[in-house]
Amino acid sequence: MSDYLVQFNNISKFFGKVIALKDVTMRLKKGEIMCLLGDNGAGKSTLIKTLAGVHKPDEGEIIFEDNKIVFDSPKDALDIGIGTVYQDLALVPLMSVTRNFFMGREPQKGIPFLKTFDVEKANKIAADRMGQIGIDVRDPSQAVGTMSGGERQCLAISRAIYFGAKVLVLDEPTSALGVHQASMVLKYIVKAASEGLAVILITHNVHHAYPVGNSFTVLNRGKSMGTFQKKDISREKLLSMMAGGEELDKLEVELQEMDRIHNKN
């Protein structure tokens, strides 16, 4: 038995001639938060979809609890416990908290053919679960549209955990949020990990990733630039490793050059 809950070994994905991912390796232990960093176009979306079972990797293997796994559909990934929360969250603003929480997996009661949606039970579970993360849902029948962005993100994460996720894949959970809301979501992610989940946090925001992450994998142009433990790397180094870093350095040099020429004239 290896230490790792889930391993993605040497994953590659090609779309025709385009190499979207090449030899990306990520290994997570229980309770670990791995941040996947990368600029736009680095291959983050493709990697998420491969983790979630939407794409099949062309090379490499996925090992979950020491078993080699092949996903044929997103449902397979869900079934073994890889819960993906996409950026759009799969929440319907016009529907209530409860109805969103149990969307597609409603608890039922009653006799066969006349089964009803057990709204009371669902309301109770939804309110409980939201309460556990410090969001007091006054009325679980209130529309999700009335919740803040951070609360919605927490609802979507909470839903994934409730329905059996052992590995959480979070796609840019803080990108659309303000500082306060983002910290609420990050706190929740830390809490989830402390309860034994493995979390893959996809983001391009180092400032959000660094405080919560245990390890960091940097993607650039479809390739992994390596995985680093927190003690081995600084925030600044991470930032410069993401494609922006080097280019920003170059930009700075060019600007200085321009300034110099300008001052001469």
Partner 1 sequence: MSLKSKSISSKSNLSEDERLKKISPLRVLLNRPELGALGGSILVFIFFGIVAGDTGMFSAYGMLNFLDVSANLGIIAIAAAMLMIGGEFDLSIGSMIGFAGICIAIPAIYWGWPLWMSIVFAFAMAVLVGYFNGIMVVKTGLPSFIVTLAMLFILRGLTLAITRLITGRTQIPGLRVLIEDDPLAWLFATDTFKWLFTWLGSLKLIELRTDGTPLATGIPPSVIWFIALTLFATWILMKTRYGNWIFASGGDKVGATNVGVPVGRVKISLFIGTAVASTIFACIQVLDAGSADTMRGTLKELEAIAAAVVGGCLLTGGYGSAIGAAFGAIIFGTVSMGIFYTDVDTDWFKVFLGAMMLIAVVFNNYIRKKVTESK
Minimum CB separation from partner 1 for residue 236, in Å?
27
Task: Using CB under 8 A, count the residues that bind partner 1.
Answer: 41
Minimum CB separation from partner 1 for residue 254, in Å?
41
Minimum CB separation from partner 1 for residue 102, in Å?
7
Asked if 115 is part of the footprint of partner 1 (rule: CB under 8 A), the reply reads yes
Asked if 105 is part of the footprint of partner 1 (rule: CB under 8 A), the reply reads yes
Q: State which residue, 11 or 78, has the beta carbon closest to partner 1.
A: 78
Q: State which residue, 70 or 103, has the beta carbon closest to partner 1.
A: 103
Q: Please state the separation of Cα 218 from the chain's center in Å.
A: 14
Is 54 strand, coil or helix? coil
Please select the residue that binds partner 1; options are 6, 184, 201, 212, rule is CB under 8 A: 184
The residue type found at 229 is Q
Q: State which residue, 187 or 221, has the beta carbon closest to partner 1.
A: 187
Is 189 strand, coil or helix? helix
CB atoms within 10 A of CB 53: 22
Residue 180 φ/ψ, nearest 5 degrees: -65, -45
Asked if 91 is part of the footprint of partner 1 (rule: CB under 8 A), the reply reads yes
Q: State which residue, 137 or 218, has the beta carbon closest to partner 1.
A: 137
Q: State which residue, 65 or 106, has the beta carbon closest to partner 1.
A: 106
Q: Please state the separation of Cα 136 from the chain's center in Å.
A: 24
- Name the site residues for partner 1 (rule: CB under 8 A): 74-75, 78, 86, 88-95, 99, 102-106, 108, 115-117, 119, 131, 133-136, 138, 143, 145-149, 159, 184, 187, 190-191, 194
